């Protein structure tokens, strides 16, 4: 890896707002809307880029509840959470919303995850070249808004090209007690030469805990045993990131 691994901070991004996306009918039902203004028909005639946030969400929801139309449900969710809040919801948190069962919850969370990855990685996601901590942060800064700790592994080839990204665990590192073999298995499976770990601190702190340092050293030793190097371990939060290698933690 390059010696130019330095940490930087970034101002948090601002959520965008979305005005009502269609003419409102008194009944609030899709059937009451003129056909050209219905989200599905509008997507085909004008493209999905022409749809507002609530319209897009209504298509993912598919239907409303017995008491609330899909239009009202989508607009309520956008007002309540905002776009960034919606993309941060876990499947479990989605099921707390009226009318959202496990199948729909996983579909919604997956759709937002795809959008998050597309935004972070771009068209060259599979072979993004990573040589500095800031480049890692650009690929994973969405974690700064997560409400739970996520541990990610980024697996690289001989040219530091990204060949695989994997969520290794969700939850406090203290409770999940992730074993190094769970981290090294994807590296072996994808023939990676090295890897980078990234985890977030929902508290917003960028300081590594004693447990973070001990965990990193254990994984580093395990990687050396099989000839797969741990290049760095980043902590990310809303305010930026910290490189444990830069801090001399291992």
State pLDDT tens for residues 90-140. 999 999 998 899 999 999 999 998 887 777 655 444 567 899 999 999 999
Which pair of structure tokens corresponds to residue 196?
């980078």
Residue 6 lies in a domain: no
**Which residue carries 């979305």 as its tokens?**
18
Instruction: State residue 92's pLDDT score.
Output: 93
Together in a domain, 146 and 98 = no
Together in a domain, 91 and 112 = yes
Pick the more confident residue, 178 or 74: 74
Mean pLDDT of the chain: 83
In which band, very low, low, confident or very high, does the pLDDT at 48 lie, cut at 50, 70 and 90?
Answer: confident
CATH code at position 63: 1.10.150
State pLDDT tens for residues 55-73. 899 999 988 878 888 888 8
Range of the domain at 83: 30-118
Instruction: State residue 67's pLDDT score.
Output: 83
Neighbouring residues of 5: CB distance < 8 A, sequence distance ≥ 6: 132, 133, 232, 243, 245, 246
Residue 10 lies in a domain: no
Residue 47 lies in a domain: yes
State pLDDT tens for residues 147-193. 889 999 999 999 999 988 999 988 765 544 588 999 999 999 999 99
Query: For the chain, what is the domain count?
Result: 2
Residue 218 lies in a domain: yes
Residue 17 lies in a domain: no
Half-sphere exposure of 23 (CA within 13 A, CB side): 10
Neighbouring residues of 77: CB distance < 8 A, sequence distance ≥ 6: 54, 57, 86, 97
Together in a domain, 157 and 187 = yes
Together in a domain, 234 and 136 = yes
In which band, very low, low, confident or very high, does the pLDDT at 226 lie, cut at 50, 70 and 90?
Answer: very high
Last residue of a domain, one of 103, 118, 133: 118
Quickly list H helices, the chain. 39-46, 53-61, 70-88, 91-94, 102-121, 133-140, 173-176, 180-189, 210-226
Task: Report pTM.
Answer: 0.56
CATH code at position 174: 3.40.140.10
> Do 234 and 242 form a contact (C-beta atoms < 8 A)?
yes
């Amino acid at each position: 890896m390059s010696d130019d691994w330095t940490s930087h901070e970034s101002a948090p991004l601002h959520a965008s707002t979305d005005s009502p996306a269609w003419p409102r009918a008194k009944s609030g039902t899709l059937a009451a809307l003129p056909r050209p203004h219905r989200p599905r028909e509008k997507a085909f005639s004008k493209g999905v880029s022409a749809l507002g946030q609530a319209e897009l969400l209504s298509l993912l929801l598919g239907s409303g509840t017995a008491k609330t139309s899909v239009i009202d449900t989508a607009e309520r969710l956008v007002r309540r959470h905002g776009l960034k809040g919606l993309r941060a919801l876990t499947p479990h948190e989605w099921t707390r919303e009226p009318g959202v069962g496990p199948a729909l919850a996983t579909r919604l969370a997956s759709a937002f995850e795809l959008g998050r990855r597309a935004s972070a990685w771009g068209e060259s996601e599979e072979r993004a070249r990573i040589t500095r901590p800031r480049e890692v942060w650009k690929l994973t800064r969405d974690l700064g808004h997560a409400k739970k700790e996520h541990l990610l592994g980024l697996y690289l080839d001989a040219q530091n090209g990204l060949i695989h990204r994997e969520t290794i665990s969700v939850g406090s590192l203290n409770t999940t007690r992730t074993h190094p073999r769970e981290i090294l298995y994807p590296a072996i499976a994808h023939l990676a030469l090295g890897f980078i770990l990234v985890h977030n601190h929902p508290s917003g702190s960028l300081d590594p805990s004693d447990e973070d340092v001990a965990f990193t050293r254990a994984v580093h030793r395990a990687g050396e045993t099989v000839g797969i190097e741990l290049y760095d371990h980043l902590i990310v939060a809303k305010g930026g990131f910290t490189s444990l290698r830069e801090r001399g933690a291992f």
